[in-house]
Amino acid sequence: MQSGIVYYKRSGSTFDGRWSHQDTGGVFAREVVHDAQPGPFVGSWQVEIFAPDGRSLFVGQLQAVPLGDCVSLSWTKTGETAASFVGLGHAIDPDLVMACFEPAGGQASQGR
């Protein structure tokens, strides 16, 4: 299984996230989405993803594009042109977002 889960809770201008994946043994790790303006979870933001032990794994961009009642998500690592991970999310309310993700294009889950 290559899919994982993530949830984000707004804290001021950031979304503080927690993610987990089979490769972490189901342990949650931290993710931070910076400079998120009030309103819908739609746009492009800087994102930092950490390992369960706190090590930095990934710095890049998170993009959320409307897709019906959901948002299509892509995480792109700094310096790369193609998305590293893709997912589907839903804003339960303006301050809480739930999503699933998987490596883009069938990649291995290295780096997250």
Domain extents for the chain? 4-105
The number of CA neighbours under 13 Å toward the Cβ of 76 is 12
**Mean pLDDT, residues 85-104 taken together:** 96
pLDDT in tens, 68-82: 999 999 999 988 888
pTM: predicted TM-score of the whole model, two decimal places: 0.89
- Asked if the model's pLDDT at residue 94 lies above 70, the reply is yes
pLDDT in tens, 13-26: 999 999 999 989 99
Task: Give the residue from 8, 97, 105, 91 showing the smallest Cα distance to 48.
Answer: 8
CA dist., res. 30 & res. 95, Å (int): 17
